[in-house]
Amino acid sequence: MNDQKYDPVLKAGEQLINGQAASPGYAIGCASLFNTSELVISTEPVDGMEVEAEYQQFIKARRIVVLELRKISEIASATDEEAHGIIQAQIQIAEDPELDKSIRRLIMERHYGADRAVNESFLYYIQLIKNTGNALMIDRIVDIRDIRDRLIRQIQHGELVSGVAEGSVVICDELMPSDILLFSRHKVIGIAANEGGLTAHATIIANSMGIPLVINAVGATRITSPGDMVVVDGVDGRLVVRPDASTLETYRREKERYTLELAESARIVELPSVTRCGREIVLRANIEFEEEFDNIRKYRARGIGLLRTESFFIEDEGLEEYYSKEAFFEKAVKAAAPDSVTIRLFDVGGDKFSDTTTKEPNPFLGWRGVRVLLDKRQLLRSQLTAIMNVAGRNPGKIRILVPMVSVVEEIIEIRREVAALTEKMRGNGKPFDENLEIGTMVEIPSAALIAGRLAEEADFFSVGTNDLTQYTLAVDRGNRLISKLFQQMHPAVFQLIKKTADAAIEKGISIEVCGELASNPDAALCLVGMGITDLSMSAASLPRVKKAIRKYSMLEMAELSQMVLDAATQDEVRLILDNWKKEKEGDFSR
Ligand code: PEP
Ligand code: MG
């Protein structure tokens, strides 16, 4: 059998794009195009029987858009009065009865699709504004187009997804985490995207769902047509479009080999998570969506080390719906039992809530995480109340994690809020968890550098290496132009983690790592070597991390981490790791 890997020398007719491997595995199948950036309006007339349903589609889209605008306006109201005013005006336009009448008429009488009816009605509306000649109103046309686009995207979203054939490979522009969920429901087998980031949430979810993903495959949507045969190589980061017969054959073999590897990890899942010297290493799961809960059992994770809650914003519902999320937390507790769930407070801002109209020149250095929560006390209290209610019913099973802490005062203030709510619950005779732990994310260099002081205020640390890398190296984690500099294994990142670990150990609080670095088996060895025995990651990565740590003793890993901390570059770190592993393999049969 010829077991050569794919040789990237192009064969006649085939096209190759080198991107970045973001979620491992191979997908071979027909392409579906899913393009989120261009608005193409349908011109097909709607069947007479369908017009009422078509109109209802508009009504549903409008409801979601208005909820979305309300939640943005809620956030904007704290800092930006002008933005707040603009959004309020947008909501009025979206709900304008004249517009509604026009859209309804176009659908009912002319049998326009909902997207076309919205487009035409807005064109008319915009023309009316232009005719007034009022400069101030004309300036606002951009906001009106924004609502139109939101409505059309919302209407088309369902259709675009249903245009994604079951079992196909999706080729797209860029992705939202919720897109991955929809694809997974459509049994999509692989994805290649023009854009993307290694630690973007969509990437993290693709990993968790086990969907092979190649990002930064620039030009993928341009050279692929729907129905083309394609290969997504999520191991070496390639997209091959219209592969020739020999390429296909090579990839079929690669896929088989990979499937065997997966079977091997299924065996590892059953083994205890201990080092060679018998020390237990706690491996937990990072979770964002309910669809991922089954992974906890499947990969034998010790509960949820990071429950992200930003999807409450990203998904359809608005803030008003927030309270109902108690049910989600209850389910998380059940899924993690008998272990615990660490719920992170909203980490909105940065790339996680890009929709905000509070335009910031540097969103990653701006209004994000705990900074938003402390400015929006109602939002903070509503989330804390939901979490604390569930914790009261499940004492010892929930911990709270505060994102984006850069100064000690932030964690002190959160503690004060929790204490006040506890008092209130006590007064109301509601059950509460007296020992509810409050931890801080260490993901900003300042937090790592003052870890000793922070440890006096926090019950535990959770190191977020995705942001810690971004802020240490001053590299936007989603920017394709500088993705080579997003070096999660840079010695500077390791040094900050070591400083944090030393402080936690000295002050006697627990520490874990929940950034993507923990899912890299080599990096995990270094983290354990620093004394961090609690790691949380995309659940699908658990077997390969477990396999790595089972091979070595704590002492060996401590030696390794010391060498890595003394390195000057990420390349040097990799070399040290490779040589060390080779040397160890020579020592014993591992
Ligand atoms: C991190 O920054 O490493 C982290 C775990 O949080 P997120 O990726 O959600 O920012
Ligand atoms: Mg983070």
Q: How confident is the model at residue 155 (pLDDT cuts 50, 70, 90)?
A: confident
Q: What's phi and psi for 27, nearest 5 deg? A: -130, 130
Q: What pLDDT, in 10s, does the model give residues 69-100? A: 776 666 556 555 666 777 788 888 899 999 99
Same domain, 408 and 335: yes
Amino acid at 348: V
Same domain, 540 and 471: yes
CATH code, domain carrying 231: 3.50.30.10
Question: 411: closest CA among 509, 486, 502?
Answer: 509
Q: How far is the CA of 482 from the centre of ligand 1 (A)?
A: 19
Pocket test for ligand 1, best of 372, 467, 476, 519 (most atoms within 8 A of CB): 467
Domain stops at, among 155, 186, 209: 155
- Whether 389 has a pLDDT exceeding 60, the answer reads yes
Answer yes or no: is 522 within a domain.
yes
Inside any domain, residue 382: yes
Does 314 have pLDDT greater than 80?
no
The per-residue pLDDT for 181 is 74
What is the mean predicted confidence (pLDDT) over 20-38?
86
| Total domains, the chain | 3
- Using DSSP bridges, classify how beta strands 15-18 and 238-241 pair: parallel, antiparallel or unpaired: antiparallel
- How do residues 413-468 score in pLDDT, each as one tens digit? 999 999 999 999 999 999 999 999 999 999 999 999 999 999 999 999 999 999 99
Number of CB atoms found within 10 A of residue 361's CB: 6
| Res 489 pLDDT > 90 | yes
147 plus 190 within the same structural domain: no
Flag whether 269 is in a domain. Answer: no
Residues 218 and 341 in one domain: no
> 335-385, pLDDT tens digit by residue?
999 999 999 999 977 655 544 445 678 888 988 999 989 998 988 998 999
Predicted local confidence at residue 355, as pLDDT? 44
Task: Judge if 295 and 164 occupy the same domain.
Answer: no
Same domain for 88 and 218? no
* Residue 254 is assigned to a structural domain of this protein: no
* Closest to 161 measured CA to CA, from 140, 142, 146, 175: 175
CA 35 to CA 40: how far, in whole Å?
A: 10
CA dist., res. 15 & res. 9, Å (int):
10
- CB atoms under 10 Å from CB of 456, counted, come to 12
Best residue for ligand 1 mutational test, from 199, 287, 352 (most atoms within 8 Å of Cβ):
199
User: E strands along 116-266, which residues?
Assistant: 169-172, 190-193, 213-215, 229-233, 238-241
Check if the beta carbon of residue 464 is closer than 8 Å to that of residue 443: yes
Residue 449 sits in the same domain as residue 505 = yes
CATH number, domain of 106, equals 1.10.274.10
Q: Is residue 1 part of a domain?
A: no
Burial 71-95 (b: 16+ CB within 10 A, else e): bbbbbbbbebeebbebbeebbebbe
Domain assignment of residue 252, yes or no: no
Query: Could you tell me if 366 and 507 lie in one domain?
Result: yes
Picking from 128, 155, 182, the residue at the C-terminal end of a domain is 155
- Say if residue 300 is in the same domain as residue 438: yes
In a domain, 2, yes or no: no
| Reported confidence tier of residue 133, pLDDT bands at 50, 70, 90 | confident
- 549 — phi, psi (to 5°)? -70, -25
CB atoms within 10 A of CB 249: 13
Ligand at minimal distance from the CA of 518 is 1
Q: Which residues contact 94 (CB under 8 A, 6 or more apart)?
A: 62, 65, 66, 69, 147, 151
Q: What is the pTM of this model?
A: 0.75
Using a pLDDT cut of 70, give the percent of the chain over it: 89
* Average pLDDT of the residues in 493-499: 98
Chosen domain end from 113, 136, 155:
155
476/549 same-domain check? yes
Residue 358 belongs to some domain of the structure: yes
Given a cut of 50, whether residue 317 has pLDDT beyond it is no
In this structure, are 150 and 171 located in the same domain? no
| Cα–Cα distance, 484 to 162 (Å, whole number) | 35
Give the containing element (helix H, strand E) for 520. none
Non-local (6+) Cβ contacts of 369 within 8 A are 345, 346, 347, 348, 349, 350, 402, 403, 404, 405, 441
Contacts 24+ apart (CB under 8 A), 447-453: 447/405, 447/406, 447/500, 448/496, 448/497, 448/499, 448/500, 449/496, 449/499, 450/408, 451/499, 451/500, 451/502, 451/503, 451/504, 452/503, 452/506, 452/507, 453/408
What element of type H or E holds 16? Answer: strand 15-18
Task: Return the residue whose CA atom lies nearest to atom 9 of ligand 1.
Answer: 308
The pLDDT score that the predictor gives to residue 34 is: 83
- How far away, in angstroms, is 492 Cα from ligand 1 center? 18
Q: How far, in Å, from the CA of 351 to the mean position of ligand 1? A: 11
Tokens of 512: 């874990």
Within the chain, how many helices (H) and strands (E) appear?
24, 16
pLDDT of residue 589 exceeding 60, the answer is no
Give ligand 1 pocket residues (Cβ under 6 A).
Answer: 199, 306, 308, 347, 443, 464-467, 514-515
586 band by pLDDT with thresholds 50, 70 and 90: confident
**pLDDT of 179 strictly over 60:** yes
Do residues 203 and 67 share a domain?
no
d(CA 180, CA 305): 22
Which range marks the domain in which residue 167 is found? 15-38+159-244
